[in-house]
Amino acid sequence: MATSTQALVNPDVLEWARKESGYEPDTVAKRLHVKLEKILSWEKGEKKPTVRQAQELAKFYHRPFGVFFLPQPPALTPLAAEYRHLPGIKPGVESPEFRLALRIMSRRRETALELNEELGLPVVEFNIAAHLSESPSNVGVRLRSILGITPDEQLGWESEWQAWRRWREAVEALGVLVFQFPKVSLDQARGVSLFTFPLPAIGINSKESSPAARCFTLLHELTHLALAIGREEQSALGETRDNSAWLEVERFAEESASAALIPTDMLSTFLKRMNVSPDAWDITLMRTLAGKFRVTPLAMATRLRAAGELTWDGYNRWKEEWNKYLASLPKRKGFASPVDKTLGRSGRPFAQLVLEALDANRITSVDASRYLDLRFDHFDKLRNELLIGTMRKAEGIDDGE
């Protein structure tokens, strides 16, 4: 049978593909239901996989089948040369799920640049700089001013989903691609930035508990991009700070994000009405105040701490109670349509760009389907959503997690 025919693959490329995808040999053996010795013999060139087994490997590694027949492994830029340093993640040994998310983000960004060039469209230059010598609150105020979200607009939002849609649109308008990635644990990353200019990218983990949490992560990552423009940060591969120094950078980004989401004047107005002492904040009170701004209680607690309205002891005590509360909640459930998945993960600007390239005959329908990870028979629904989506309420699941 054809499926039993040996595939004349390059063993060096087989080994490269496995390592580049972040898998250990025993994990691959379990996935293909073969013994570990067989995987190792393929990579040593002692034996060859069948065509079907090679196809399964390509699918598992998320690589084109034809790559296995190259004379030598492709020379690729290390992922850690693009993404920002993330505490707890060692460059080069990221999990397979996170490596895949980073590869997809990078590929989409490259596609967007190519399509803009094909269509003769200008690329908005992201040029907002921030410095660690500044007050994080001042950086947050500056970011909010540039994003153009007014207090009246924010107070008029009817849901956290509407807040997420608007913050995302405002960041994308600055020349930043905003993606969402699934199947990565929150312990690894809530968000990540690609320090690749022009057209840098921000990725948001779609396991985030709420759209409000994604808003905070989005502004947090935007701060990191501004720090990179200000030459305060480098990609993970080039960073030399120790864990203590990185904690300070992360804290700076947290305070900047909370200041952007929660302006001082708006906050003061609500605090006067509520009249809560610095150490009297409980989960209910914090949720009530956070709901006014469509932000998470944790973002609000961070803001109150930075504003001197919550002591460090009070903040730590409240955060411990909040984490216990979150752990007690049932897992978020929902169903996302194929179009919702595409828009949630790739973003509206990217989806619109791909459709424009398709309509201009710059790419084929096969290319468009591959770029968007969407079957062609869903394209009419995608066009309709792009046309009317901004005119209706942004509700429900948009990530397909």
* Distance, CA of 320 to CA of 112 (rounded, Å): 42
**Residue range 19-54, pLDDT digits in tens:** 999 999 999 999 999 999 999 999 999 999 999 999
Mean residue pLDDT across the chain:
92
pLDDT at 166: 96
Alpha carbon distance 101, 123 (integer Å): 23
Residue 229 pLDDT level (bands cut at 50, 70, 90): very high
3-class state of residue 88 by DSSP: coil
pLDDT surpassing 70 at residue 2: no
List, in order, residues 6 or more apart from 376 with CB less than 8 Å away.
365, 368, 369
pLDDT band at 399 (very low <50, low <70, confident <90, very high): low
* In contact, 345 and 179? CB cutoff 8 Å: yes
The CA R_g of the chain, rounded to the nearest whole Å, is: 23
Instruction: Name all domains of the chain by residue range, CATH numbers in brackets.
Output: 2-69 (1.10.260.40), 78-261 (no CATH), 263-332 (no CATH), 338-391 (no CATH)
Give the pLDDT mean for 382-400: 67
Residue 400 confidence (pLDDT):
47
Mean pLDDT of 172-191: 95
Cα torsion 226, 231, 232, 236 to 10°: value is 90
- Model pLDDT, residue 387: 86
Q: Specify the pLDDT at position 1.
A: 45
pLDDT in tens, 103-147: 999 999 999 999 999 999 999 999 999 999 999 999 999 999 999
Quick one: average pLDDT of 330-347?
84
Cα separation, 249 vs 85, whole angstroms: 10
- pLDDT of 260-302, one tens digit each? 999 999 999 999 999 998 888 999 999 999 999 999 999 999 9
Q: Are 262 and 306 in contact (CB under 8 A)?
A: no
Residue 395 has pLDDT above 80, yes or no: no
Among 106, 124, 123, smallest CA distance to 194 is for 106
Enter the tokens of residue 170: 């405002």
What would the mean pLDDT of 223-242 be, rounded to a whole number? 96
- Round to whole Å and give the CA distance between 272 and 253: 27
What are 192's strand-pairing partners? 203
Query: Of 35-49, 81-95, 348-362, 378-392, which range is least confident?
Result: 378-392
Q: What is the pLDDT of residue 401?
A: 54
- For the whole model, what pTM was predicted? 0.92
What per-residue confidence (pLDDT) applies to 290? 95
Strand pairing partners for 280? none
Percentage above 90 pLDDT, the chain: 83
Say which DSSP state 204 is in: E
The per-residue pLDDT for range 295-334, each reduced to its tens digit, is 999 999 999 998 889 999 999 999 999 989 888 887 766 6
What per-residue confidence (pLDDT) applies to 3?
54
